[in-house]
Amino acid sequence: MMPASVQLRKNELIIVNEVEFLKKLEVFLQKYSDEVIANYMMWQAASSMTEILTTEMRNRKMEYRRATVGIAAREPRWKECIGVASSLSLAFSSLYVERYFDETSKKAALNMTNMIREEIIRDIQELDWMDEETKKRAVYKASQVVQHIGYPDELTDMNKIEEFYKGL
């Protein structure tokens, strides 16, 4: 994902790694009505929440899965707990960063990569074998590289973490 601050032009080239998924998604979206898609999304959301509800709700989901796909037994409770923990990955990631990462190391790494970027841009501008238009595009491309170093800053902002999980 790119940060929200990155602006794309209409003619911007975007590299997509999951082309087959997008093709199938396009077919799916054209094939079914908005109502069916909305119902499916709501079902998926509700179904994913049954693991954190009552034993009765978990048992009902198990009955449904037994009838529809032939699953005979529930997963062990510890696996269900891991599934729930996975849905709280932002909170766990925040705790992990707080405990094991050093902000000064991240700043030093960001500073180093910024200096590398500046040096690359200087080198491009000094090339005598490259025409000016190509240099401009190369400098633009180098200036648009998004740095993903260490962890997103949002993981250290407790207000953002609390906002994300508000109403949970």
Whether the per-residue pLDDT at 24 is higher than 70: the answer is yes
Per-residue pLDDT tens over the stretch 105-116: 889 999 999 999
Last residue of a domain, one of 87, 109, 139: 87
Domain with 25, as residue range(s), is 18-87
**Is residue 123, in this structure, part of any structural domain at all?**
yes
Task: Please report how the helices 77-87 and 89-100 are oriented relative to each other, as an axis angle in degrees rounded to 10.
Answer: 80
Per-residue pLDDT tens digits for 2-13: 567 778 888 888
Q: pLDDT tens-digit profile of 41-53?
A: 998 888 888 877 8
Question: Which pLDDT belongs to residue 130?
Answer: 95
Q: What is the pTM of this model?
A: 0.47
Q: Are residues 82 and 125 in the same domain?
A: no
Q: For residue 115, what pLDDT is reported?
A: 96
